[in-house]
Amino acid sequence: MSNIKNTTDSFDGNQTCTDTIDDFRNQVYSTVYSMIAILGFVGNGFVLCFLIKTFREKTAFQIYMLNLAVSDLLCVSTLPLRVVYYVNRGNWFFGDILCRISSYAFYVNLYCSILFMTAMSFFRCIAIVFPVQNLKLVTEKKAQVVCLIIWIFVTLTSIPFLMSGSYQNGNKTKCFEPPPKDEVTNLMILHYIALFIGFVFPFSVITVCYTMIIRTLLNNSMKKNQATRKKAVWMIIIVTAVFLISFTPYHIQRTIHLHFLGKGNCNDELYMQKSVVVTLSLAASNCCFDPLLYFFSGGNFRRRLSTFRKASSSSMIPTHKKKASLKDKEDDTFK
């Protein structure tokens, strides 16, 4: 694979062009990934520890949150490797296996996050729009089954991302670089499968669910339940923001860039390469948004956090558990 180079090299060997994009890329990625790694570790680490300590009081919504936190932590745990790579101006020191795992973990997190958010949105829609059916459809066991299916589906379908590893380019070992031209066709097929199954379909489901939730919340009958309205509104705001900020720009840019490869001049290619850096950074930032979803959309989480802070000894936990049990059952309905 030593023939693989940055796509900007294909334009008359213009070294200045390559140097410009490499400098920009190294500075942005090393800075942004460092910030995401720190915020992601702190935010998701706290949420995961908290959910584990209160796991006996688990609800369907918390099961989705727990899996989302695990997915985020798996991704941010590989970001320091990327930071070292870009700080060293694109030189990989960690071997071929870790190169493949780092790429794989990024895409597993990306599509697990999308599908977990879609599942949470769908079942909250069921809970609010069809409250009677909700009693049977939204349960802890069903949430566990859905999460297991998502993990299996995403980890298996993301296996092609394990195919691209590190390679030697001059005196440097490269990783995370653009594919060679002869692999673009295969990459295009993989892209469109991921685009429709991993983004277009989930985003369509979320749009329909949120439309139904908003219509239901506008009814007079729902105005009495302010807690339900508040949690549903926060979920709509946060999930929509994550899709618009993190997921949508990345998928749009990736589609345009794959069609653009090798068809423009050097300046156009530089522009496309820089847009890759920006949108890929935004896609990785979804790890930082998810703790906001845990806090603002999970009313039970905030109540337990307040109680957890006030607890001075383990002897208080059983009392808290009894008082919380009825509330937990309400949260099982995603309201």
Q: What is the pLDDT of residue 315?
A: 41
In the DSSP assignment, the letter for residue 169 is E
Q: Are 7 and 273 in contact (CB under 8 A)?
A: yes
DSSP state string for 1-63: -TT---GGGGTTT-HHHHHHHHHHHHHHHHHHHHHHHHHHHHHHHHHHHHHHHTGGG--HHHH
Give the domains, in start order, of the chain with CATH numbers.
22-331 (1.20.1070.10)
Please state the length of the chain.
335
Long-range contacts of 53-58 (CB under 8 A, 24+ apart): 53/308, 54/304, 54/308, 56/321, 57/300, 57/304, 57/321, 57/324, 57/325, 57/328, 58/140, 58/328
C-alpha to C-alpha distance for 119 and 205, rounded to whole angstroms: 9
Structure confidence at residue 185 as a pLDDT band (50, 70, 90): confident
C-alpha to C-alpha distance for 129 and 119, rounded to whole angstroms: 15
Per-residue pLDDT of 223-267, as tens digits, reads 556 777 788 888 899 999 999 999 999 999 999 888 877 666 777
Q: Are 192 and 145 in contact (CB under 8 A)?
A: no
C-alpha to C-alpha distance for 143 and 139, rounded to whole angstroms: 6
Whole-structure pTM value: 0.83
Q: Inform me whether the pLDDT recorded for 173 exceeds 50.
A: yes
Task: Provide the token pair at 292.
Answer: 């906001």
Q: Inform me whether the pLDDT recorded for 125 exceeds 70.
A: yes
